[in-house]
A and B are shown apart, each in its own frame.
Chain A
Amino acid sequence: MPTTLAANANAALYASMIVYTLAMLAFAWHLAARAPKVAASRVEEREEALVGAAAPHTPERRQGSRYAAGPGFEESLQSRQRGNIALMLTYLASALLVASVAMRGIAVARPPWGNMFEFATAASAAVGVAYSVLAKRNRWQWLGVFIVTPILLVLGLSLAVLYTEAGELMPALKSYWLGIHVSVAFIAVAFFTLAFAVGLLYLVRLRREESPPAKPNFIESLPSSATLERTAYSLNMVAFILWTFTLIAGAIWAKQAWGAYWQWDPKEVWTFVIWTVYAAYMHGRATAGVDHRKSMYIALAGYVCVIVNFTLVNLVSTFVGMHNYSGM
């Protein structure tokens, strides 16, 4: 029985990758529809400015939501339809991915994140679900392509490089802390990922606000740089709280497994490095006189550390420590 379940898990994984690919294309198609409308709405904006203070509300107010599109942007019906199609596809793909992770978990009768392949799949599922839940409410269709593409990359790479047959856990991982510590870790990573994508868009948007380009593109249809920055901050904040919990849960587990809650083994070092970098970001953001752009650079550096923590620290033999549980 478990073998058929594991096979179904793999089938669901492939299916979700196909649907994610369609979603990615649809999101790109959606962005293409956003761009030209901007030029038109810019004209309106200028007219509005000429009329002067007579306009009682700014366009942003009229949108009603802080997270809605940028000032002066009225989304076309076409763009909206394409965005919604893409979003539906993302829901479907994420549901398939969650089903895949769940089936794998049932097949092996344990939390399905016991090796790198499983962690990568579960983290991708978390990114997909977090995005799906937040996108509808906040109208984040513009973000889709920047989320779905990395998910596809990670899934493809982990299938190609990291794939591991569903199997039993090594003794070091047989603990309910695996369920707690690791799941919170990848949910945190999911939020860091969303924040990273929004943060990058913020920097691009900000540059183009400071020196407007001759030809506007979809970037000009995004929420204002200030809104993007706040969004990234909120996402990073959630991720940081979860990461703090990951760190503490890891220390508790280490105490139980190895007798010492902190030994500076490479995985612990990098978890700590990530934590301090994001703490520095939080500080920078709260310090008057440090501009938000600089703080955002710190947050992006933090995300690079997240990537290093998952890739280099796990795969390169320089970083040998207690987490490489190879028999001894």
Chain B
Amino acid sequence: MATDTPLKQQAPRPEPALPELGPLGLLRWGWRQLTSMRTALFLLLLLSIAAVPGSIFPQRNIDAGRVADYIAQNPTTSPWLDRLGFFDVYASVWFSAIYLLLFVSLVGCIVPRTRVHVAALRARPPRAPARLHRLDEHAEVTTSLPPDEALDAARDALRRKRFRLHSHDTTSLSAESGHLRETGNLLFHLALTGIIVGMAVGHLLGWRGDIILAEGQKFASSAGTYNTISPGPWVDTETLPPFVLSLDKLDVEFNETPGRSFGTPRLFDAQTTLQRDPESSASRETVSVNHPITVDGADIFLLGNGYTPVITVRDAKGAVLYREATPFLPQDGNYRSVGVVKVPSAAPKQLGFTGFFLPTAEPTFQDGPVSLFPDTKNPELALSVWEGNLFPGGAPQSVYTLNTDEMKQVTKADGSPALIRLKPGQTYELPGDRGSITFDSVRRFAGLSVRTDPGASVSLVSAILATLGLILGLTIKRRRVFVRVAPAPETVGGDGRPATVVTIGGLSKDSDPGLAAIISAIATAVPDRLAERTDR
């Protein structure tokens, strides 16, 4: 290329000789390596590979229960996998290291490129090279227009095509267009950092709390009332929005047409009553999948649902020890659900029940407790009974699991384990005068999630800008066009009028089918101007 500022910015540099570099030079060399496009390429590939394990191994951030199952099933490999972060890939040291390096590389790349680009925006297009016919695209026309008028015609044509123009002398013209390409490119890379900043803000200032709420229950939001709450490091949990929400009814429908989608959900709508703060009046709100409601900057989502059998446990004298709508968590598409009833007040030993709720029980139990349909067509509870110490060591534990370390399964008179099967309204007398358990009725529960993410809007705006930048950076072509005029050695048409030879050459940074069209448009602009003049 015969231009003084090369269009290709990333010319291969000679490899620096290492031994001659001092510590500072080494540092500078390292920085240059880190911020080179080759390194960015390598880090991008590395990042994509590093992201994959997180989709293969269960992840704590998605489903901690599955991680626990996996560890239990693979006792030899999983401690190592765990130590290496394979169950928390996206928070692991190695994953973070890759994207942080990429982030540094990105910033280290944007800054100098911005400087270069600003200088390029101010600079004039370079002087026309001597031999324009050597350029990628070129054309030559001979006209009887005088040189300055021919150059004017070319100038107007280029201006109409939004080229920036400069004449270094009276016989040539230099034109340049497509600075918006690099502007777009920089905008894209800068916006990527904006997305990362937005994610960081969300992580630090956002929080989420999850609630399981049965039909008829009421929830008052405060730091202590959520089933689980995960606040960001900078969140003050004393300032959560003080709303009160009750679940009046959960409307659910499942597909009952036989076929592949038999039993798939059709509708989830939670009818709620919401009081935004203790002073305001209550209003009716519907929360459904894809349609959260917003309170004080927090969004309330309907993320799950299931069943809460209402269960009563009585002692031998008939006094009620336990009566609660007890949530059972669904395990499959037909809502075979597991749950636990803990009765610490039972005497002489504490009682625990664990087992399944089946909305549509397969009656024979030949393959164990199985549900055939997600709706309550034939609801049944199947439980086993344990007695002993419910809370060994007094340690806190999940309400959905029974710790049987210090418990013994209750057996019938013949020594076989007592297995309880109950339909709504039925009661089971526990063996050995331990009292009774009754399955009163079943209600649905809604799994609600309250979330805030103050960084989301930053990320969103950045993402939109990134897309815009990407479109500009990829579709706009960076072009240079040069025009030279010179007196022709012969006259045109032999009528003695002096003639001018106009040479046009253009080059483009990448494959550019449009360049040839521009060159020929300028080539035709010159005779057009002549025609205009003769018409006059």
Residues of A at the B interface (CB closer than 8 Å) are 66, 115, 163-165, 167-168, 170-172, 174-175, 177, 230, 233-234, 237, 240-241, 244-245, 248, 251-252, 255-266, 269-270, 272-273, 276-277, 279-280, 282-284, 286-290, 298, 305, 313, 318-322, 325-328
Contacts and interface: CB of A to CB of B under 8 A. Distances in A.
Nearest to A309: B55
B44 A313 contact: no
Contact of A260 (B12, B40, B52, B453): B453
B10 A286 contact: yes
Interface stretch (B146-154, B219-227, B329-337, B427-435): B329-337
A259 B467 contact: no
A171 B467 CA distance: 30
Contacts of A328: 304-306, 330, 447
B41 A172 contact: no
Given A327-B333, A327-B335, A319 B44 contact: no
B44 to A, nearest CB: 4
B56 A319 contact: yes
Interface residues of A, dominant DSSP: helix
A277 B261 contact: no
Contact of B266 (A168, A260, A290, A319): A168
B511 interface: yes
Given A237-B474, A252-B460, A321 B41 contact: no
B37 A319 contact: no
B45 A245 contact: no
B65 to A, nearest CB: 11
B302 to A, nearest CB: 9
Report which residue of B266, B334, B466 has the largest number of chain A beta carbons within 10 angstroms of its beta carbon.
B266
B90 interface: yes
Given A168-B266, A234-B511, A256 B330 contact: no
Contact of B259 (A165, A255, A258): A165
Given A164-B259, A273-B51, 20 more contacts: A66-B511, A167-B261, A171-B265, A171-B289, A240-B474, A241-B470, A257-B289, A258-B449, A259-B299, A264-B54, A276-B44, A276-B48, A277-B44, A279-B44, A286-B10, A319-B55, A321-B55, A325-B265, A327-B333, A328-B330
A313 B208 CA distance: 27
Contacts of B332: 326-327
B55 A171 contact: no
A170 B265 CA distance: 5
Contact of B66 (A171, A279, A288, A320): A320
A288 B11 contact: yes
B118 interface: no
Nearest to A295: B41
Interface string B367-410: 00000001000000000000000000000000000000000000
B45 A298 contact: yes
B41 A283 contact: yes
A280 B266 contact: no
B467 A269 contact: no
Contacts of A279: 44
**Chain B's interface: helix, strand, loop or mixed, by majority?**
mixed
A327 B265 contact: yes
A270 B44 contact: no
Contacts of A244: 466-467, 470
B62 A322 contact: yes
A127 B63 CA distance: 37
A313 B55 contact: yes
A283 B289 contact: no
B317 interface: no
A276 B303 CA distance: 30
A233 to B, nearest CB: 7
B267 interface: yes
A328 B208 CA distance: 18
Given A233-B511, A321-B62, A328-B330, A269 B466 contact: no
A241 B475 CA distance: 10
A211 B58 CA distance: 48
26 contacts: A165-B261, A168-B266, A170-B265, A244-B470, A255-B456, A256-B290, A259-B449, A260-B208, A260-B453, A261-B453, A261-B460, A264-B62, A269-B55, A272-B51, A276-B51, A277-B44, A280-B45, A282-B474, A289-B10, A305-B48, A318-B56, A321-B55, A322-B62, A328-B304, A328-B305, A328-B447
Contacts of B460: 252, 261
Given A174-B289, A269-B51, A290 B261 contact: no
Nearest to B199: A262
A99 to B, nearest CB: 24
B288 to A, nearest CB: 7
B255 to A, nearest CB: 7
B89 to A, nearest CB: 8
Interface string B504-516: 0000000101000
Contacts of A163: 260
B482 interface: no
A97 to B, nearest CB: 22
B282 interface: no
Nearest to B464: A248
Given A237-B474, A264-B61, A327-B265, A270 B290 contact: no
Contact of A270 (B55, B208, B305): B55
Contacts of A264: 51, 54, 59, 61-62, 89-90
B290 A174 contact: yes
Nearest to B188: A244
Ranked 8 nearest A-B pairs via Cβ: A266-B55, A259-B451, A230-B511, A276-B48, A280-B44, A269-B55, A171-B289, A175-B290
Nearest to B58: A320
Contact of B63 (A172, A233, A318, A320): A320
Given A258-B303, A264-B54, A288 B12 contact: yes
Interface string B60-93: 0111001000000000000000000000011000
B268 interface: yes
Interface in B466-511: 466-467, 470-471, 474-475, 511
Nearest to A231: B511
Contacts of A289: 10, 12, 38
B301 interface: yes
Given A165-B259, A257-B289, A259-B449, A290 B303 contact: no
B170 interface: no
A245 to B, nearest CB: 6
B144 to A, nearest CB: 24
B378 to A, nearest CB: 18
B47 interface: yes
Interface in B250-296: 255, 257, 259-261, 264-268, 288-292
B38 A171 contact: no
B8 interface: yes
B463 interface: yes
A280 B40 CA distance: 8
